[in-house]
């Protein structure tokens, strides 16, 4: 069996000192590939370093909306250069977070648009972080995302109606362990309508362990197996067939076969 954790932060301090063991436990559980995702300059370098070190591990580089406030044009040039490293498979995470607003909205919009431009120029897919900013995210994608090849909304927590809009635009949707939470009825309704050729899974670890492991404070890729089982059941599908289908989707989205 093969599964890919399409969004993890193995460079974050909760996991970084122990990546070898984290990877070993992941493989043991059946999660055999990883996209480790950067959020700022330092984490981007870390993501590329880790991807270079481990087989079946790839990197995404981007500036998280929380960190948009610190960005200058020199950093965007550096990001563009780093994105051309052999194991970088996407730009991200980038997007808008109007829940926390750690960066001003106008700054978030500008830095998001700049990263869409880089993705279009380098022909890379984009991993979107969108929180309480759905309409603005779609708006910026429409105005600045013309040349962008593929887009995934990561850690999706929106409604079925929003999911439908994303699908209609040809974009992809990725779910975390949140979909297993008791109070996540809305997210489950969204998951039900996403076809497997547009659906991916992720941990977003070290955050948000899925049920029944929610008490494990530091999430890790091995635990994605619980989310996979849960969603296969939700979709009334054979577990092996479910894993096969979403792995095909993930590999195609990130062009992993070509790597």
Distance in angstroms (rounded) separating the CA atoms of residues 115 and 92: 8
Give the residue with the Cβ less far from Zn ion, 129 or 144: 129
| Smallest separation (angstroms) from Zn ion to the CB of 31 | 16
Q: HSE on the CB side for 161, CA within 13 Å?
A: 2
| Smallest separation (angstroms) from Zn ion to the CB of 237 | 26
Give the residue with the Cβ less far from Zn ion, 40 or 204: 204
**Sole window of 12-20, 100-108, 172-180, 203-211 interacting with Zn ion (rule: CB under 5 A):** 203-211
The position carrying tokens 């580089």 is 61
Q: Quick count: other Cβ atoms within 10 Å of Cβ 146?
A: 10
- Tell me if 5 contacts Zn ion by CB under 5 A: no
**Sole window of 103-111, 114-122, 174-182, 202-210 interacting with Zn ion (rule: CB under 5 A):** 202-210
Total residues binding Zn ion (CB under 5 A)? 3
Whose CB is nearest to Zn ion?
A: 129
Distance in angstroms (rounded) separating the CA atoms of residues 121 and 80: 9
Determine the 3-state secondary structure of 97 from DSSP: strand
Instruction: Tell me which residues in 108-147 interact with Zn ion (CB under 5 A).
Output: 129
Give the residue with the Cβ less far from Zn ion, 202 or 232: 202
Cβ–Cβ < 8 Å for 203, 177: yes
Q: HSE on the CB side for 53, CA within 13 Å?
A: 13
Cβ–Cβ < 8 Å for 103, 67: yes
Instruction: Tell me which residues in 88-107 interact with Zn ion (CB under 5 A).
Output: 93
Give the residue with the Cβ less far from Zn ion, 145 or 206: 206
**Sole window of 21-29, 42-50, 200-208, 210-218 interacting with Zn ion (rule: CB under 5 A):** 200-208
Give the residue with the Cβ less far from Zn ion, 67 or 204: 204
Instruction: Tell me which residues in 204-223 interact with Zn ion (CB under 5 A).
Output: 204
**Distances in Å between the alpha carbon of 123 and those of 80, 103, 119, 191?**
12, 27, 6, 28
| Smallest separation (angstroms) from Zn ion to the CB of 76 | 19
Q: HSE on the CB side for 245, CA within 13 Å?
A: 16
Distance in angstroms (rounded) separating the CA atoms of residues 30 and 240: 11
Query: Could you tell me whether strands 172-175 and 33-37 are parallel, antiparallel, or unpaired per DSSP bridges?
Result: unpaired
| Smallest separation (angstroms) from Zn ion to the CB of 97 | 8
**Sole window of 157-165, 168-176, 185-193, 198-206 interacting with Zn ion (rule: CB under 5 A):** 198-206
Distance in angstroms (rounded) separating the CA atoms of residues 23 and 20: 5
Nearest CA to 220 among 242, 233, 203, 244?
Answer: 203
| Smallest separation (angstroms) from Zn ion to the CB of 158 | 13
- Using CB under 5 A, list all residues that contact Zn ion: 93, 129, 204
């Amino acid at each position: 069996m093969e599964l890919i954790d399409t969004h993890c932060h193995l460079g974050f301090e909760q996991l970084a000192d122990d990546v070898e063991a984290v990877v070993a436990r992941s493989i043991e559980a059946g999660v055999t590939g990883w996209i480790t995702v950067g959020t700022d300059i330092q984490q981007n370098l870390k993501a590329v370093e880790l991807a270079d070190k481990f087989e079946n591990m790839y990197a995404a580089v981007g500036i998280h909306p929380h960190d948009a406030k610190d960005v200058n044009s020199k950093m965007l040039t550096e990001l563009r250069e780093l994105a051309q490293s052999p194991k970088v498979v996407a730009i991200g995470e980038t997007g808008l977070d109007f829940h926390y607003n750690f960066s001003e909205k106008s700054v978030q919009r500008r830095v998001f648009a700049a990263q869409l431009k880089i993705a279009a120029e380098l022909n890379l897919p984009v991993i979107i972080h969108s929180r309480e900013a759905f309409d603005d995210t779609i708006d910026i994608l429409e105005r600045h995302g013309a040349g962008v090849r593929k887009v995934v909304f990561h850690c999706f927590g929106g409604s079925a109606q929003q999911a439908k809009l994303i699908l209609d635009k040809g974009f992809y949707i990725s779910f975390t362990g949140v979909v297993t939470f008791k109070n996540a009825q809305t997210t489950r309704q969204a998951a039900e309508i996403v076809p497997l050729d547009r659906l991916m899974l992720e941990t977003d670890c070290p955050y948000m362990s899925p049920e029944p492991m929610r008490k494990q404070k530091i999430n890790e890729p091995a635990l994605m197996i619980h989310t996979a089982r849960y969603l296969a059941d939700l979709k009334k599908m054979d577990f092996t067939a479910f894993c096969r289908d979403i792995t095909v989707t993930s590999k195609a989205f990130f062009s992993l076969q070509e790597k």
